[in-house]
Amino acid sequence: MNEIELLEAVQRTVSRRMFIKGVIAAGAATSSVGYLFRGPAAVFALPSIQGSVGRLVTLNVNGQQRRVDVLPQETLAMTLRYKLGLTGTKLGCDRAECGACTVLVDGTNHYSCSMLTRSAVGREITTIEGLESEDGTLHPVQQAVVDEGGFQCAFCAPGFIMSMVALVEANPNPTREETAQALSGNLCRCGDYDKILTSAMRAAEYARREA
Partner 1 sequence: MAEKTIGRDIAPPDLVAKVTGRAKYAEDFRAEGMVFAKLLASPMPHARVRSIDTSEALAMDGVFGVLTADEVPQPGAPNEPALTNEPLYEGEAILAVAAIDETTAADAIEKIRMDLEPLPFVLDPLDSLRPDGPNARLDGNTRIGREVQTIKWSEEDFAAAADGHMPVGQPGDEWSYGDVDAAFDAADLVLDETIVHQSLTHHPLESRSCMAYWQNGKLFIHGSTQSTARTRAAIARGLGLELHDVVLIAEYCGGGFGSKISGSTIMQVPALLSRKIGRPVMLRITRAEETYLGRARPGFQAKAKIGYRADGRVVAMELFIVQDNGPYGRSGDFRTAADMASLTYQVPAMRFGGVSVYTNTPPKSAQRAPGGGQITSMLEPIMDKAARELGIDRVALRHINVPDNDGVFGPRRRGLTSAYVREALDRGVELFGWEERAARSGQRHGSMVTGIGIGVSSFVGGSSGFDGLLMIREDGKLYVHQGIGNLGTHSIADTARAAADVLGMPWDRVEIVWGDTSRHLPWSAVQAGSQTTHAHTRANHAAAMDAKRKLQEIAAGDLGGSPGDYETGDGRVYRRNDRDTGMTFARAARRATQLGGKYSGEELPEDINAMTVTSAQALAGEGLMGVAKDTYPHEGSTFSFVVGFAEVEVDFETGHVVVKDYTAVTDCGTVLHPRSLAAQLYGGGVQGMGMARSQRWVFDPQWGVSFAKRLYTARPPGILDVPLEMKWAAVGIPDPQTPVGAKGIGEPPLGAGAAAITSAIADALGGRCLCRTPLTADMILAAVEGREQPYGPLETHV
Subset of residues 60 to 119 that bind partner 1, contact rule: CB under 8 A: 81, 85-94, 97-98, 100
* Residue 38 contacts partner 1 per CB under 8 A: yes
* Residue 52 contacts partner 1 per CB under 8 A: no
Residue from 15, 16, 36, 119 binding partner 1 (CB under 8 A) = 36
* Residue 170 contacts partner 1 per CB under 8 A: no
Question: CB neighbours of 92 closer than 8 A, spacing ≥ 6?
Answer: 98, 99, 100, 101, 155, 156, 159, 187
* Residue 29 contacts partner 1 per CB under 8 A: yes
Nearer to partner 1, 105 or 145 (CB): 145
Part of the chain binding partner 1 (CB under 8 A), chosen from 104-112, 118-126, 139-147, 165-173: 139-147
Nearer to partner 1, 59 or 156 (CB): 156
Q: Is the Cβ–Cβ distance between 171 and 211 less than 8 Å?
A: no
Beta bridge partner(s), residue 65:
60
Closest to 93 measured CA to CA, from 36, 35, 160: 35
State how far the alpha carbon of 195 is from the alpha carbons of 62, 80, 162, 169, in Å.
27, 28, 16, 20
Pairing of strands 124-126, 56-61: parallel
Nearer to partner 1, 122 or 132 (CB): 132
**CA neighbours closer than 13 Å in the CB half-sphere of residue 110:** 21
Residue from 48, 58, 108, 184 binding partner 1 (CB under 8 A) = 184
Part of the chain binding partner 1 (CB under 8 A), chosen from 48-56, 104-112, 114-122, 178-186: 178-186
Residue 159 CB, shortest distance to partner 1, in Å, is: 9
Segment holding 204, helix H or strand E:
helix 193-210
